[in-house]
Amino acid sequence: MVQGNTFADLFALAISAETSAAELYRGLAAKFAQCSDVAEFWQRYVTDEIAHARWLARLQGDLSVEQLGTRVDPVILENARHAAGLVVETILDQVHTLADAYELVNELEHSEVNAVFEFLISSFPADPEVLAFLRTQLSEHINRLVTAFPERFRDPGARRAVVAQA
């Protein structure tokens, strides 16, 4: 199926990207299950990604057919297609150490996924308090890697020493 260029298409891609990100974090939690604090850290991201997907689905459900049929900037759609096109198994196969996982997540959290999410929450009028909450949540989600990663693994050398489970 060829993707279209409407907000409906953008929502489908964004929800898919959030769901794939949750699967990626679930995979990271499994790869580092031997470090319960790290596995729990990745599990928090799983929870966040699932919440993002649900929020996007609720927002989509609140929109009219006309709003959903509105054309979207092709660059935003391309970013969403790229974000939704991640092959979780392939990415997880490239994670050999905790350092690999950390760098992967750093790249992911600064990628198109969050840019598309921000675009969608900015594009539709909603309760200003809800929008402020979502932006705060997104910011905290992005910064968590730096501010809340288990302290014993904040040093890159310590992360390189932890080998991922198969």
- Does any domain span residue 14? yes
Question: What's the total number of domains in the chain?
Answer: 1
- Does any domain span residue 30? yes
Strand partners, 163: 97
User: Each residue of 83-135: pLDDT tens digit?
Assistant: 888 899 999 999 999 999 999 999 888 776 777 877 877 777 666 777 777 77
- Does any domain span residue 165? no
- Does any domain span residue 2? no
**Residue 91 · residue 24 · CB < 8 Å:** yes
CATH (domain of 122): 1.20.1260
Residue numbers of the domain that contains 82 = 7-160
pTM: 0.87
- Does any domain span residue 166? no
- Does any domain span residue 50? yes
User: Each residue of 16-49: pLDDT tens digit?
Assistant: 999 999 999 999 999 999 999 999 999 999 999 9
- Does any domain span residue 149? yes
Distance CA 166, CA 150 (A): 22
- Does any domain span residue 142? yes
